[in-house]
Structure 1
Amino acid sequence: MLMRSKLFVPASRPELFDKALNSAADALSFDLEDAVAQNQKPQARAALAKFLREKPDTNKAILVRVNAFGTVEFNADIDALSGATIDIINLPMAEDVDAVIEAVAKIERLQKPSRQVGVLLNIETPRGLRKAADLATSHPRVMGLQIGYADLLEPCGIVRSDRDALAHIRLAVRLAAAEAGIDAYDGAFAAVKDTDGYRTECLMAKAHGFAGKSCIHPSQIAIANATFMPDAAEIAWAHKVVAAASEADARGVGAYLVEGHMIDKPFVERARAIVALADTIATVIAR
């Protein structure tokens, strides 16, 4: 599922729903958690459930960030969303494997049997980061891990601009996701007017193997879409490697050179992934 850009939409702001649907974001993440004041949650979940049941068909991935499992609000969210057209439920504050399994069981009971709803886990606590690999492999419906920087860093007094700290977190989350064979997604960047800062974080996340980044404002969408799309040079190189691999396989050769670079299995797997991603993006753009 293509999610280079994932636009957050507060469920308490129904006037934004159609605008978000018409945006260039690959995915929309309707938020019932932190973006909604406690006394507004019943109205927000009712408005969102109505919209998701009546919305027109879309190629965008539709996510809902519900409240944390184990809370009364989580149960109310899942009950209200029963039968709604949703691709992914985003679970915040993921820390415990058993809790994830229980939450997924609750989600499965209320979603349409014909629809395979995925689960995106937020890694946003020290415990969650430490157990990220266990969480990633906790259930087949877990399709990705997503970093929640504010909840993870602020209580610890870790400065958001510390690139070494961010790199450590990203690598830990990406390797945990890789163990499960799923994607990792970078978290939100709150300084909306700092487009250079947002672009820098996108580039660093891409370098760490992330599939996309959250957007908290429409102005961030184009940057994420452009950054997490393979550029022309990457695609050209990937096609050369894939072609060379086909020739090498036919000759029974396991390692070989492409323009002076030694190529073997892991490089071929990466090249094929780039070609597949480029094809997927081209298909989406053509629609």
Structure 2
Amino acid sequence: MKKVSPFALGATLYMPATRTDLLSVVMGEKLQGLRSLVVCLEDAVSEIDLDVALANLGTLLMDIDRRGGRPEDGPMMFVRPRNADMAAKLSAWPLMRHADGYVMPKLNLNNIDAWAKSVEGTDLYLMPTLETKEVFDPTAMVELRNALLETIADRVIALRIGGNDLMGCLGLRRPQSTTLYQTPMGYVIPMLAGVMGAAGFALTAPVFEQIHSQDLLKAELDLDMAHGLVGKTAIHPSQVAIIHRALQVSIDDLNSAKAILSDAAPAVFQFNGAMCEPATHLKWAENIVERARWHGLRTDKTANLSGAPLTLIEAAG
């Protein structure tokens, strides 16, 4: 399986499998600029509607097949089954090859082997969701990280942080006037960024459910970026462009990253008034270049706080 950049995900829009406009979104005809989407069979679909949702997914896959497959420049498409048993049944559908993979709800040590078996013999990627009470326990997350490394790590594009479910474990709901980082998630997200990120797993940020609070969404995205998160779940099309703008890279950061990655870079040097040390900042620099590759450069006036000319440094060598 070829490696997929987690930065390719961008804003990931969740859509219930019961929707009738899925094909136009999947084919890139509607919501242009969308990078990835999830056809959800889990929380977004009630039990009474499950048969309809599965039939609608089957129709979607047949329609994609009739069109000769999904366009290369269209959004990545993932399916979110209810559990590993459902995933195994879906994997047996020949047309499931038109999906990129599964979003795995409520991953834990008890179901990870079943999820691994559900995709055996396929080329489906996986995006496990961390959203159960065990996520609050760093020791449990170390154990889960090790299990991921031993089983499905080669299929994992990114780990998704299920903010609403995690808040629900505590009997809480996101406040309307603050970011998630001002709740107990302000402990969980940095902990996961450390435990999982240190093992090489990318993480995506939880959904922002206040659809009309764009300024608060932007503030939360700043914190998402500061914690190294590579994308964010979207629940409304109006959030997609805002998330993608937040993922853009400033010219100063890109120039700094290219200087760090240069074969001619000294062991320690100054750039834009900050110390750069390639041995320490290598991974950061690689991530900045990859982010810029997928999301481009910020062009707003605040992106160039140093006052340096807006010129792009090409790495030597």
TM-score bucket (shorter structure): 0.7 to 0.9
Alignment correspondent of 1:285: none
Query: Secondary structure of 1:234's partner?
Result: helix
Residue 175 to residue 52, structure 1, CA distance change in 2 (3 Å): farther
Q: TM-score, structure 2 length as denominator?
A: 0.76
User: What letter is aligned with 2:116?
Assistant: V
Query: In percent, how many aligned pairs have the same letter?
Result: 21
Query: Secondary structure of 1:102's partner?
Result: helix
User: What letter is aligned with 1:3?
Assistant: L
Bigger mean CA deviation after superposition, 4-13 or 153-162: 153-162
**Distance (whole Å) between structure 1 residues aligned to residue 218 and residue 273 of structure 2:** 32
Offset, 1:123: 0.9
Corresponding position: 1:134 with 2:134? no
Residue 86 to residue 132, structure 1, CA distance change in 2 (3 Å): farther
* Cα shift readout 1:62-103 (whole Å, capped 9, x = no counterpart): 111111235xx455544457633122211101121x521221
Query: Any conservation in 2 of the 1:5–1:27 contact (CA below 8 Å)?
Result: yes
Alignment correspondent of 2:251: 232
Alignment correspondent of 1:220: 239
Corresponding position: 1:123 with 2:123? no
Query: Any conservation in 2 of the 1:7–1:29 contact (CA below 8 Å)?
Result: yes
Query: Secondary structure of 1:121's partner?
Result: strand
Query: Any conservation in 2 of the 1:238–1:272 contact (CA below 8 Å)?
Result: yes
**Distance (whole Å) between structure 1 residues aligned to residue 54 and residue 284 of structure 2:** 41
User: What letter is aligned with 1:247?
Assistant: A
Alignment correspondent of 2:305: none
**Distance (whole Å) between structure 2 residues aligned to residue 61 and residue 210 of structure 1:** 19
Query: Secondary structure of 1:262's partner?
Result: strand
User: What letter is aligned with 1:276?
Assistant: E
Bigger mean CA deviation after superposition, 209-218 or 41-50: 41-50
Alignment correspondent of 1:167: 186
Corresponding position: 1:38 with 2:47? yes
Alignment correspondent of 2:260: 241
Alignment correspondent of 2:287: 273
**Distance (whole Å) between structure 1 residues aligned to residue 207 and residue 216 of structure 2:** 12
Query: Any conservation in 1 of the 2:247–2:291 contact (CA below 8 Å)?
Result: no
Whose helix fraction is larger, Structure 1's or Structure 2's?
1
Aligned length: 268
Query: Any conservation in 2 of the 1:93–1:128 contact (CA below 8 Å)?
Result: no
**Distance (whole Å) between structure 2 residues aligned to residue 81 and residue 156 of structure 1:** 41
Residue 175 to residue 269, structure 1, CA distance change in 2 (3 Å): same
Query: Any conservation in 2 of the 1:46–1:80 contact (CA below 8 Å)?
Result: no
Offset, 1:173: 1.9
Structure 2 residue runs without a partner (length 5+)? 65-69, 297-317
Corresponding position: 1:106 with 2:113? no
**Distance (whole Å) between structure 2 residues aligned to residue 229 and residue 260 of structure 1:** 22
Partner of residue 148 from structure 1, selected from 162, 180, 187: 162
Structure 1 residue runs without a partner (length 5+)? 283-287
Query: Any conservation in 2 of the 1:11–1:48 contact (CA below 8 Å)?
Result: yes
**Distance (whole Å) between structure 1 residues aligned to residue 135 and residue 58 of structure 2:** 29
Partner of residue 257 from structure 1, selected from 254, 270, 274: 270
**Distance (whole Å) between structure 2 residues aligned to residue 127 and residue 40 of structure 1:** 30
Query: Secondary structure of 2:84's partner?
Result: coil
Q: Which runs of 4+ in 1 moved over 4 A?
A: 73-82
**Distance (whole Å) between structure 1 residues aligned to residue 234 and residue 273 of structure 2:** 39
Partner of residue 71 from structure 2, selected from 46, 57, 69: 57
Offset, 1:37: 1.5
Partner of residue 184 from structure 1, selected from 195, 200, 203: 203
Q: TM-score, structure 1 length as denominator?
A: 0.83
